[in-house]
Structures are given as C-alpha cells and as structure tokens.
Amino acid sequence: MSVHKQNEQLIEDIQGKAIADTISCAAVFTIIDEMKIEPIEAGRALDLLDIAIIKCQLGLFGYSPDKKIVKPAETVSEEMNREISACLKDGFLSCADAWAIAKKLKVAKMQVSAACDKLGIKIKPCQLGAF
C-alpha cells in the first residue's frame, strides 16, 4: 500500500471510530495494530484531524470528571520496582515501557501506572504524542 493510500486509510479508520471529536486510546491502538503502523503516525493524524484521545489505557487522562483515574498503588513489589527503575530515562518511564512491563509481568497496564504514581515517577512520553 502506498504511503498516500495508507494515510487515507488511517484517516478514514480514525474518523470511523471517533465519536464527537474524541477517540479512545484502545480504539486508536486497534487501528495501529490492524494497519501495522507506528503509534506516533496515528498521533499525528489525530492532531491533524483535531480529534482528542480519551480513556488512556494507563488511566492518566481522558476520563470524566477527574481526567485521571489511576490512583497510587498501596504497595509496589520488588519486581515491579526493579522493572520500572531499569527502564527510566531522565527520571521518566515511557508509555511504551510501561506497556512492556505490564506485558512482561502479566499485569494490567494501570497496575504499572499505579506503581509509578506511588513511586512518584511520571510516565512520558505517550506513544501517541499526547504527553
């Protein structure tokens, strides 16, 4: 598929899943997986289309009424702490690394963001470029 056709398909797919100029993080990643593109490509398309991402899969933004739904974990396991610490870059954990840790430890993505919240670690950058 040519780049132009792929871009047209991406825009069409995003517009097809968007509701009231918003689209969930999960819906965007469904498109990304189906099209086999890099997340940042979809993020750029969202910016061009002025469509906001809602319901971040890490619970960091896009929820009503408080925007953020993730709460600090009560405790953080040694294994989780070790994995997070090993992936820090300039004191931050990337969204992609948070997802990878969740997959490796077989836990929900929000468990990783909750652990980061408890440890005072900010997650950034977003794979889609939202933060």
3-state SS, 112-126, equals HHHHHHHHCCCECCC
Please state, in angstroms and rounded to a whole number, the distance separating the CA atoms of residues 52 and 19. 10
Instruction: Output the pLDDT for position 120.
Output: 98
Instruction: Output the pLDDT for position 6.
Output: 75
Token pair for 78: 């040694």
Instruction: Output the pLDDT for position 7.
Output: 87
Stated length of the chain: 131
Instruction: Output the pLDDT for position 129.
Output: 95
Domain limits, the chain: 3-54, 70-131
The DSSP letter of residue 78 is H
Its pTM stands at: 0.92
Q: Give every residue of the chain whose pLDDT is below 50, as ranges.
A: none
